[in-house]
């Protein structure tokens, strides 16, 4: 299983073993990672799983859909590397992925 690291805004690191085929959001929720609320259950309707993907990993991800782009417009700290964790499927190619959570998500 791929290892993924979630870094909270305060620098706290949460390393999890993520099951391939599930979303990055599901991996965080299943491992009680604080800051990934997933209020909509992964339906791309709330942006409570907003993360910043390290630029080196961005090329390994499919581009955001129009729906994801729309939801990202509602985030307070949108950056070029912003994504919704519910829209990132975990694959073996993402082993070692590191994402950071914005300040507004505790």
Give the pLDDT confidence score for residue 2 in this predicted structure. Answer: 97
The pLDDT-based confidence of 100 (bands split at 50, 70, 90) is very high
Phi-psi region at 62: left, alpha or beta (left = phi > 0; alpha = psi -120 to 50): beta
| Pairing assessment for the beta strands 3-7 and 97-100 based on DSSP bridges | parallel
| Residue of 94, 7, 21 lying closest to 52 (CA atoms) | 7
For 24-79, the pLDDT digits (tens) are: 999 999 999 999 999 999 999 999 999 999 989 998 999 999 999 999 999 989 99
Residue 104 has pLDDT above 90, yes or no: no
């Amino acid at each position: 299983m791929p290892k993924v690291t979630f870094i909270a805004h305060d620098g706290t690191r949460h390393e999890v073993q993520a099951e391939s085929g599930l979303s990055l959001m599901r991996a965080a929720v299943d491992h009680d990672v604080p800051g990934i609320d997933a209020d909509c259950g992964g339906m791309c309707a709330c942006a409570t799983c907003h993360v910043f993907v390290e630029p080196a990993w961005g090329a390994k991800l499919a581009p955001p859909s129009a729906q994801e782009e729309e939801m990202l417009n509602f985030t307070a700290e949108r950056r070029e590397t912003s994504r919704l964790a519910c829209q990132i499927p975990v694959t073996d190619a993402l082993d070692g992925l590191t994402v950071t959570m914005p300040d507004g998500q505790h």
